Amino acid sequence: MSLDLETVRHIADLARLYLTAEEQARFAEQLSAILDYFAQLQTLDTTGIPPTSSVLPPRSMLRPDESRPGLSREELFLNAPQVEADQFRVPLVLE
């Protein structure tokens, strides 16, 4: 298996993703099968081939850098899970 349990736990930590023991085992197996299938990519010689990160022609569409009205405080808090004194409330960050 190309992806062991320890790696799965490490990746889940990086992704801030809680996984049950059962999920860890299943993902180790499934992601290994997927990565094994993807190994065919390594057989291609890509020396000198530039990477494509965007298919767009190299020009940017930029708007004038001017201040504009944004969303109001009320609108922003409408979807917040917990608000206190006009701020997003979260558990203690620093002891």
Partner 1 sequence: MTDLTELSLSQAAAAIQAGELSSLELTKAYLERIERHEPDLHAYITLTPELALAKAGEADRRLQSWRKLGGEPPSPLLGIPLAVKDVLCVAGVRCTCGSRILENFVPPYHATAVERLLQAGMVLLGKTNTDEFAMGSSTENSAYGVTRNPWDRERVPGGSSGGSAAAVAARLAPVALGTDTGGSVRHPAAFCGVSGLKPTYGRVSRYGLVAFGSSLDTVGIIGRTADDLALILRHIAGGDPRDATCLDLPTPNYSPDATTDLSGLRIGVPLEYFIAGMQPQVEGAVRAAIHTLEELGAMAQEVSLPHTRYALPVYYLIAPAEASANLARYDGVRYGARQPADSLWELFRRTRGEKFGAEVKRRIMLGTYALSAGYYDAYYGQAQKVRTLIKQDFERALQAVDVIAAPVTPTTAFKIGAHGDDPLAMYLEDIFTLPANLAGVPGLAFPVGFDAQGLPVGMQLMSAPFREDLLLQIAHAYQQATDWHRRRPPVL
Residues that bind partner 1 (CB under 8 A): 3, 7-8, 11-12, 14-20, 23, 26-27, 30-31, 33-35, 37-38, 40-42, 44, 46, 49-57, 60-63, 71, 75-76, 78-82, 88, 90-93
- Tell me the C-alpha distance between 30 and 37, whole Å: 11
Least separation in angstroms between CB 77 and partner 1: 9
Least separation in angstroms between CB 1 and partner 1: 14
DSSP lists the bridge partners of residue 87 as 84
Closest by CA position to 9, among listed 28, 29, 30, 35: 28
